[in-house]
Chain A
Amino acid sequence: MAAISEEMVLLLALIALTILLSMGVLLTRDNFFSAMYMSATLIMVASIYAFFGIQPLFILIIFIFVGVTGIVTVALAATFRSEPEKASPGFWGPLALTTALIVAISLSTSLRHHPESGMGAIQFELGGFLGNPGYILLIISLTSLGILLMLSVLKMIGGVNECR
Chain B
Amino acid sequence: MQIDALTLSALYIASFVLLLIGYLTVISSKDLIRVLISLELMFGGVFLSLIPLFTSLPNPAFGIALISIFTSSSELLVLIAAIIIFDRKNKSLSTGLVRVGGERT
Contact flags (1/0) for B22-35 with A, using CB distance below 8 Å? Answer: 11110110110110
Contact flags (1/0) for B55-88 with A, using CB distance below 8 Å? Answer: 1101101110111011111101110111111010
Instruction: Contact check, B52 vs A118: say whether CB atoms are below 8 A apart.
Output: yes
State A123–B3 Cα separation when bound (angstroms).
11
Of residues 34 to 67 in B, which have CB atoms within 8 Å of A's CB atoms? 34, 36-38, 40-41, 43-44, 47-48, 51-56, 58-59, 61-63, 65-67
| B21 CB–A CB distance under 8 Å | yes
Instruction: Contact check, A157 vs B84: say whether CB atoms are below 8 A apart.
Output: yes
Q: How many cross-chain pairs have Cβ atoms below 8 Å apart between A and B?
A: 227
Output the least CB separation between B42 and chain A (Å).
Answer: 10
Chain A residue with the shortest CB-CB distance to B52: A118
List chain B residues, Cβ under 8 A from A125: 58
Contact of B66 among A70, A103, A138 (CB under 8 A): A138
Instruction: Contact check, B81 vs A65: say whether CB atoms are below 8 A apart.
Output: no
List chain A residues, Cβ under 8 A from B52: 118-119
Instruction: Contact check, B40 vs A69: say whether CB atoms are below 8 A apart.
Output: yes
Of residues 27 to 79 in A, which have CB atoms within 8 Å of B's CB atoms? 31, 34-35, 38, 41-42, 45, 48-49, 51-54, 56-57, 60-61, 64-65, 68-70, 72-73, 76-77
Instruction: Contact check, A91 vs B27: say whether CB atoms are below 8 A apart.
Output: yes
List chain A residues, Cβ under 8 A from B53: 118
Of residues 112 to 149 in A, which have CB atoms within 8 Å of B's CB atoms? 115, 117-125, 128-129, 132, 135, 138-139, 142-143, 145-146, 149
Contact of A157 among B55, B62, B85 (CB under 8 A): B85
Counting chain A residues whose Cβ lies within 8 A of the other chain, the interface size class is 35 or more
- Given contact pairs A45-B48, A89-B28, A60 touches B66 in the complex (Cβ within 8 A): yes
State A12–B93 Cα separation when bound (angstroms).
38
Instruction: Contact check, B4 vs A119: say whether CB atoms are below 8 A apart.
Output: yes
Instruction: Contact check, B47 vs A61: say whether CB atoms are below 8 A apart.
Output: yes
The 6 sampled A-B contact pairs (Cβ below 8 Å) are A4-B6, A19-B14, A122-B55, A122-B58, A138-B63, A153-B78
Given contacts A87-B28, A118-B52, A128-B58, 19 further A-B contacts (CB under 8 A): A15-B14, A18-B18, A18-B48, A42-B40, A45-B18, A73-B76, A89-B24, A107-B12, A111-B5, A115-B5, A120-B3, A122-B3, A122-B55, A123-B58, A124-B54, A124-B58, A124-B59, A124-B62, A138-B67
